[in-house]
Every structure is written in C-alpha cells, then in structure tokens.
Structure 1
Amino acid sequence: MKREKFGSRLGFILVSAGCAIGIGNVWKFPYMCGEYGGAAFILLYLFFLLVMGIPVLVCEFAIGRRSRLSIAAAHKKLEPEGTRWHMTRWIGIIGNYLLMMFYTTVAGWMLYYCYKSIIGTFAGASPEQVTEEFSKMLGNAPVMMFWTVLVCIIGFGVCAFGLQGGIERITKVMMLALLAIMVALAVHSVFLEGAGEGIRFYLIPDLDKIREVGIGNMIFGAMSQAFFTLSIGIGSMLIFGSYMDKDRSLTGEAITITALDTFVALMSGFIIIPSCFAFGIEPGAGPSLIFITIPNIFTQMPGGRFWSALFFLFLTFAAFSTVVAVFENIISFDMDLLGWTRKKSVKVSAVLIILLSMPCVLGFNVLSGVQLLGEGSTILDLEDFIVSNNLLPLGSLVSVMFCTKKNGWGWKNFLEEANTGSGIKFPSFVRLYVAYGIPLLVILIYLKGYYDMFSGKGTSMLAGWMAVAIALLVFIFTCAGGKSNSEH
C-alpha cells in the first residue's frame, strides 16, 4: 500500500504542532509558572526544550521518515537482524490507546464547557455555583458519556477522510484559528485593569519564590515540563515523520514545531496569569485552574460570556488537534500490522476507543471507589500516570538509544536521515551527549517522578511502585542489548 504524504510543508508543521500542543500547554504551563516563580522557570523550560526536547523529536521524525511506518512496525524494519528492538513497539501501541482512554474524556470536558459558556451558564454565577457546576458534571455519567463519545465520533470522522483530505485540512483550520484566538485573548488579558502586576510576575524572576520552592525542584519541574510538552515517546510524532518527503532536514522542522508549541504555552501564560492578578486569584491554583478558577474570572469580567466561550473554544481546538493526531496513530497500527484499509481501521478503532474510554468516564461517578494510586485518586489519574510517568519517558529512551547504539539503527544512519534535505543540520559532535547524556536525564525524570508520586504514601507503596519502575527499565535495556532468534 502506497504511503500517504502531506500536501504541504505548512500542513506537516501545523499537524505535528497540533499533536504537541495540548491541554498541558494551556493548563499545566501557566500554573507551573505560578508555582515556580514566573520568568526564571520559563528560562529553564526553554533551555531544556533546546537540549532535550528537540533532539528526541528529531530521533522520532528520523525513524518515521526512514521506515515509512508507524511505531508499531518502524523498529522491526530498521533494526539489525537478530535484535529485539521491535519488542518495544508495545510502549507506543499501549501508550497511544491509554492516552486516548482518558484524553477523550478531558477533551469532552472542554467541549462541554465551550457549550456551557455559549449558552451563558456561568454568566453571573457565584464562585460556589461555578465549583458546583464542575462537580455536577463529573457526577453525571450520561452527560460525561455523551461528550466523550461525541469527541470520538468527530475525531475519527476527520481521520476517515485520510491524511490530506481530513487530518491536514481540518487541523490547519483549527490551528490557525487557535493561534488567532490566543492572540485575541492574550491582548485582552494584558490590558485588564490590574494586569500589570501579573505581567511583571510572569516576566521578572521572583527570587523569593524560587528560594521557597527550592532551586532543585524548580529545575526538575522545568525539565519535566519541557520533556513532556512535545508528546514524544509513544510515536505520536513519529507517525508524521513517516508522511514527510525528503526535501527538508529534520532539525529545522523540529525547531519550528517546538517554537510553535512554546508560543502557545507562553501565550497561555499571558492569557491566564494577568487575568488572575487582575481579579485577585492565585495563579498557582493547580488542576482546578481551568474548570473552576478561570470561569470565576470570566464571571467578573465585562463581556465575560463572550471571552469565556472564546477561551473554551481555544481549549477545544487544542484538545482536538491532539485527539485527531493520536487517532491517526491508532488507525495506522492496524494498517501497518494487519494490512487493513483506513475505512476498516477507523470503524474498529472508533468502537474500541469509545468502549475503552468508559472506565475513565465512570471513574468520577459509578467507579469512584476505584483508587489504585491512593486515597482520592481516580481511574484517570492511574491512566495518566502510566502514560506520562512511564510510557512517554521510556519510549523516548528507546528512540534515543535506537538512534545511537551500534546494535540499533545506529548514529550514522540516524544522522544521514536527519540531515537529508535543505535546512538546519543535526550536529554530529553531540553524539556522546545524545547517546549518554539524554538517556541519563530521561532516567532521572522517570525515577524522580515515581518518588514524588509515592514518597508520601507509605514505604511499602513507594517500594512496590519503584520496583515496577526498575522492572520496566530492565525490559528496555534487555530489548536494547539482547539478541533474538526471530527473523528480521
């Protein structure tokens, strides 16, 4: 079957950026800025994007473009005969399915809140009513199911039209609209009365705040956010490398996509942080920032109903751009491994994802007693933990090692593919850093994430989950270093 290709370079950049740009840029980045002292956190974040995020992204694009396959089959095609790299495909396959098992639910929340803003539900509402509205939504299983299923139907409907006819065409419109809406919201936010203090907080490092949270915690927070923001590790970006032609080198494209992703994160801060200061709300409010804090801001704002609807429309586009991109990855698994047509894969995958999304939906109501990560946790927390704290860093570790190890694809092959075409070249002198430095940083992020998650939940729980972490690392290094009797 002939591999589809993007219709234009702009299409590739916007679709890939759309995959990277998600709810984390809009929700997590601003509240982490609030938590870690504003501008100092941003500078560290940009530094780690440059030294970690971009090299791993180039690795994924290179594997995809050379193999012309999804992560389900790419390593099998490129690995030396007798090696086991293809066993790591399950990190990507499971990761994409698990991501959509909870991301469709959260995207449904965004769509629901966009609808609620348009009909004026939050107009004139008190803080208590806004908080109650979110709790009411979580407790209403039929409402949650409806919006989750709607997200799945729309997302797979776009994918059914193919790469150029569906994904590229729709995502280009969504992304351009998203960027325009962001600029409008940011301009409105910075001109609010009292917003100046928020802008100063955002752009001037707060040394007292840094001392309060600790420089080590701030560095680790910036490193983690930079690493996870690009959606690298489970092949979500690799698939778009497989649709690229050879006329552009990969480093320049990775930098452009990273710049767009960063622009959205920075603009989100300009939307949220000055607004928080203008209305006396704590910018480091955490996960409640989007669904409780922000609607409270809009209820106090002149023309709040309009700006609220625009904000949640922007969030919906950010969520949908990721949903469509990952759905395409899931569809490609069937096409690459089983030889299915796109039409058949869309139908089967849509039904499967809808069914697999239900535990997350019901985890806030019918199955709220299932708390596998400790008291107060949900099924969404478990699924997010498995993807964000495990599969993304482990998958990135595999990509980097595969591109640098002699028993993998190898540095020479990687460099040749990455530098094919016009544009910025990947520097050959960073080989030792990419081969050893980045894996060390990834393992640090991985193990520190486990420690932070379970250190306050008892010694036995911490020891049990750390054993799981180490076992997964052993699996990776076994696949990377061992031999297999299977034929290549």
Structure 2
Amino acid sequence: MTKQQGAADAARDAWRSKWGFILACIGSAVGMGNIWLFPSRVAKYGGAFLIAYLIFDIVIGFSGVIGEMSFGRAARTGPVGAFEQACASRGKKRVGTAIGMLPMVGALALAIGYSVVVGWIFKYLFGAFTGSALAYGADVSDVSGYEQAFGQTAAAFGNNMWLIIALVVTFVIMALGIAGGIERANKIMIPLFYALFIGLVIYVGFQDGASNGYRWMFTVDPEMLKKPEMWVYALGQSFFSLSLAGNGTIIYGSYLSDKEDIVSSAWKVALFDTLAAMLAALVIVPAMAATGRTAFDGGPGLMFIYLPNLFAAMPGGQIVMIIFFLAVLIAGLTSLVNLFEAPVATLQDHLHFSRAGAVVVIAIIGSIVSLCIQGIVSDWMDFVSIYVCPLGAGLAGILFAWVWGREKVEDAVSLGRARRVGGWYYPLYKYVFCGLTMAVFLLGIAYGGIG
C-alpha cells in the first residue's frame, strides 16, 4: 500500500462498531420483498416454501453475502474500484472500470424506482394517522375503493409531494455520513422495526381465524416439494432478499474494519433477514386467513389495496395500520439508503467529491428521474431486478473468485478471524454461488421475474 492509499483509507468514513455494520446490512436486506412477496409465497406453497427458502438462504448467506462483504473490504471501495482492482491484477484495469459501472448504475436505477415505493409508504402512513387511508370501506369482499385510491397514487406524477419527502429524509441521513448518519439511523430503526412487527404478530394471533393461517404456513405438503416453480421462487426470494447485486453489500463491506470477522457478520445478517420475512408472514398470512383467503397475490396490491381494506375491518384497525406502515417505512428507508450509497461512494472515491457534494449530485439525479417514472415504476423495477441485479452479482462473483483467485479470496474472507476460513468456502462461492447467480438471471427472464 502506498502512502497516498494509506492516507485515503484513513480519511475514509467507516462503521464505528461491528453491530452498526450488521444492523446496516440487515437494513439493506430487509425490504419490500420480505413484506409483500414472502408472505404470498408462503401462502401459496405452505411449509414447503419455508424449507426451500431456508436451504437457499443458508447456501447464499454463507457464500454470496460473505463474498461481497469481503470483496468490498479487500478493495476498500465500491463496485467500480473493486472491479478495477480485480482486473488490474490481470492488466485489464479499464475493463474493470467499465464492468464496475453496471452494478453501480444498477444500484442507482433500483434506488430511483424504490424511491417511488417509499413515497407511497409515506403517503399511506400519513393516511393511517388521519384515517383517510381506511376510508374506502370495511367490506373485505369489495376493494374497489382501495384499488382506485392506489391507482391514483401510482399514476404518473401521482405522488409528488410524498416522493420528495421520502428523498429528502433519505439524503439527509446519507449526508450525515456512514457512522453519523447511516449507522446511527439503523441502530434506531432496525430494532424498532422488529419490535413493531412482533407487536403485530401478537395482535394478529388473537384474531378469529388466524389459526388457519398458522396451520397452512407450517404444513409441508410433499406434492409442493415436487413443484419446480416453488424451488425457483424460493431461490429468487432468497437471492434478492439478501441484497446481492454486486453493489450495496460490497460498498458496506468497504467501510468495515479489518478486525471484524465477516463470516460471523454474514450469518447474522442472513438470520435476521429471514426473521424479518417470517415476522411479516406471521402477520399477513394469518390476517388474510381470518378473512377466508389462504392464498393471495403479493406485490404492491397486497400492501396498498388488500391490507388497508383488511385493517379497516379489524378492531383497532387504524392503530394496526399505523404500526404496520411505520415498520414498512423503516424497511424501505434502510434499503433505499443502501442502494443510493454505491453511486454516492463512486463520486467520492473516483471523482473526489466531498460527501455532501456527492449526495447533492445523486439527490438531484434521483429526484428528477424518480418523479418522471412514477407511472412506469413497475416496468422499471422489473427490468433492473431481472437483468441488472443478477448480472452485477455474477460479475462480482467472477471477478472475486475466478479473476483474483483462491489465495486472495481466502485471505480476504479470513481477515479478522481467529482461524483461517476452511477449504469449504472457495468452491462454494466459485461454483455454487456463481452458478446460482446465472440461474437467477436465466430463470428471471424465463419466468418474467422471480424476486
């Protein structure tokens, strides 16, 4: 390391504590997929889906999550710099720069689309406080009023004010820095997220008919295990839920101290991400079962149409809706901050912007584009998640494992550990994880999206 590199590393912001890093990574992983997609898939496939999901979570958590964290820490930079360093070892630095732009731009594009969703959440949280979001009837067989209300919100330029509020809150957190902003915010918001959802689980458990949901969730139908699409969706759920795209996990890893054990951190992130998904399922599946629905579609319709209608029919539904959307807002904000961090860090690391300057530039770009795509956000998010995210994760895997090679990978993963990582890790990452990223990419195209 040169004196200039050492000085740059010393000046670079960093996490103040191991748990600050872990909570931030949990925040980046816990998002809408945990809340509006996981419960619907559990409702469709029952306990068989839980088995498949846990298998993929263990495999991907102990390969991809560890790999991207280690890649970022070893490179001490985001995807562009990390890819540069890997390719420079083969005399192809410019190739690395070009390839590294894909996951960085992907993070920005996904953040822009995600901003629109977080804007919706802000609006519905406010509507829960005022009661306006519950004002379209309590008949669970008629959701037409809720459909119309959400259609207006999700239309082109239909939610400008709340979208801007979402962006302002996000960029204020980011402007305060890694330790002072992102870490501090996650230390407050992530424990609150779990506390709120645990409260909802307890409340829903006392509702008539909730037991039907629990029974279905934990019943393993052997026929379901034979369904290929169930395994495909479990793979997609795990892959996207763990926030692997060659960008956010790499950049968060780049701020981590060499003294920390990444293997220990990675399994905690995977565990708490799974717990978040299970808590969401333990709220939504029994609640829907109480209305007679043991199967339902996931996505924005579940969160912004069916659940508000359901809350309106519940005793104390307004309070329940406030708690629910506050928890969902936390999940959305913490993920959004992570997505925007990769482009912000790229401006800092490669164009030498100040933290504030980088945040302002990305804020301007993000605000303009997100305001303009409100009416097409679903197609926008589908394109990024189907094509860009798996490619980014796959490229990170190829450059880290196949280009840097076994010795450097094992050195990076072993840093901070009492004992060097075992021989199991490298082949698991190189062959299994990289193979799974290719499967996610191809299956996503074939199925029109799997996560």
Aligned ranges 1:407-426 → 2 under 5 Å: 408-422=403-417, 426=421
The answer to whether 1:70 aligns with 2:89 is no
Separation of aligned partners in 2, 1:315 and 1:423: 38
1:172 maps to 187
2:120 maps to 109
Over 3 Å counting, the alpha-carbon distance change for 1:452 and 1:78 in structure 2 is closer
Separation of aligned partners in 2, 1:347 and 1:450: 35
Provide Cα deviations, 1:132-155, integer angstroms capped at 9, x if missing partner. 2212322372x5111111111111
Higher-helix-fraction structure:
2
Separation of aligned partners in 2, 1:326 and 1:72: 15
Amino acid at match of 2:202: V
Separation of aligned partners in 1, 2:78 and 2:184: 21
Cα deviation for residue 337 of structure 1 reads 1.1
1:10 maps to 19
Provide Cα deviations, 1:185-205, integer angstroms capped at 9, x if missing partner. 111112211111100111112
1:152 maps to 167
The answer to whether 1:262 aligns with 2:274 is yes
> Matched residue of 1:284: which SS?
coil
* Residue of 132, 143, 151 corresponding to 2:148: 132
Contact 1:33–1:284 at 8 Å: present in 2 too?
no
Over 3 Å counting, the alpha-carbon distance change for 1:384 and 1:424 in structure 2 is farther
Contact 1:251–1:425 at 8 Å: present in 2 too?
no
Over 3 Å counting, the alpha-carbon distance change for 1:326 and 1:8 in structure 2 is same
2:385 maps to 388
Separation of aligned partners in 2, 1:342 and 1:439: 33
Contact 1:252–1:424 at 8 Å: present in 2 too?
no
1:432 maps to 427
Separation of aligned partners in 1, 2:15 and 2:118: 26
Over 3 Å counting, the alpha-carbon distance change for 1:148 and 1:399 in structure 2 is same
Separation of aligned partners in 2, 1:91 and 1:263: 31
* Residue of 350, 360, 365 corresponding to 1:352: 365
Separation of aligned partners in 2, 1:124 and 1:334: 45
Contact 2:86–2:399 at 8 Å: present in 1 too?
no
Over 3 Å counting, the alpha-carbon distance change for 1:316 and 1:425 in structure 2 is farther
Over 3 Å counting, the alpha-carbon distance change for 1:382 and 1:139 in structure 2 is closer
> Matched residue of 2:193: which SS?
helix
Cα deviation for residue 342 of structure 1 reads 0.6
Aligned ranges 1:84-483 → 2 under 5 Å: 84-123=95-134, 125-126=136-137, 127-139=143-155, 141=157, 143-207=158-222, 210=224, 215-287=227-299, 288-361=301-374, 363=375, 379-405=376-402, 408-422=403-417, 426-453=421-448
Aligned ranges 1:13-92 → 2 under 5 Å: 13-35=22-44, 37-79=45-87, 80-83=89-92, 84-92=95-103
Amino acid at match of 2:372: P
Over 3 Å counting, the alpha-carbon distance change for 1:63 and 1:433 in structure 2 is closer
Cα deviation for residue 316 of structure 1 reads 0.6
Contact 2:61–2:266 at 8 Å: present in 1 too?
no
Cα deviation for residue 160 of structure 1 reads 0.9
| RMSD after superposition | 1.8
Amino acid at match of 1:250: I
Separation of aligned partners in 2, 1:49 and 1:129: 38
Contact 1:33–1:202 at 8 Å: present in 2 too?
yes
Over 3 Å counting, the alpha-carbon distance change for 1:124 and 1:286 in structure 2 is same
Separation of aligned partners in 1, 2:98 and 2:261: 29
Contact 1:334–1:345 at 8 Å: present in 2 too?
yes
Contact 1:249–1:425 at 8 Å: present in 2 too?
no
Contact 1:3–1:68 at 8 Å: present in 2 too?
no
1:459 maps to none
Separation of aligned partners in 2, 1:293 and 1:305: 15
Separation of aligned partners in 2, 1:81 and 1:275: 56
Separation of aligned partners in 1, 2:438 and 2:362: 33
Cα deviation for residue 403 of structure 1 reads 2.3
Cα deviation for residue 423 of structure 1 reads 6.1
Aligned length: 431
Contact 1:252–1:423 at 8 Å: present in 2 too?
no
Amino acid at match of 1:310: I
Amino acid at match of 1:290: M
Cα deviation for residue 302 of structure 1 reads 0.4
2:140 maps to none
Contact 1:298–1:307 at 8 Å: present in 2 too?
yes
Provide Cα deviations, 1:321-380, integer angstroms capped at 9, x if missing partner. 01112222221110011001011111111111101112321x2xxxxxxxxxxxxxxx32
Amino acid at match of 2:144: E
Query: TM-score by structure 2 length?
Result: 0.91
Contact 1:171–1:321 at 8 Å: present in 2 too?
yes
Cα deviation for residue 234 of structure 1 reads 3.3
> Matched residue of 1:7: which SS?
coil
Separation of aligned partners in 1, 2:399 and 2:231: 27
Higher mean displacement: 5-14 or 431-440: 431-440
Query: TM-score by structure 1 length?
Result: 0.85
Amino acid at match of 1:313: L
Contact 1:118–1:305 at 8 Å: present in 2 too?
yes
Contact 1:236–1:326 at 8 Å: present in 2 too?
yes
Query: In percent, how many aligned pairs have the same letter?
Result: 26
- In structure 1, the gaps of 5 or more residues are 364-378, 455-488
Contact 2:61–2:267 at 8 Å: present in 1 too?
no
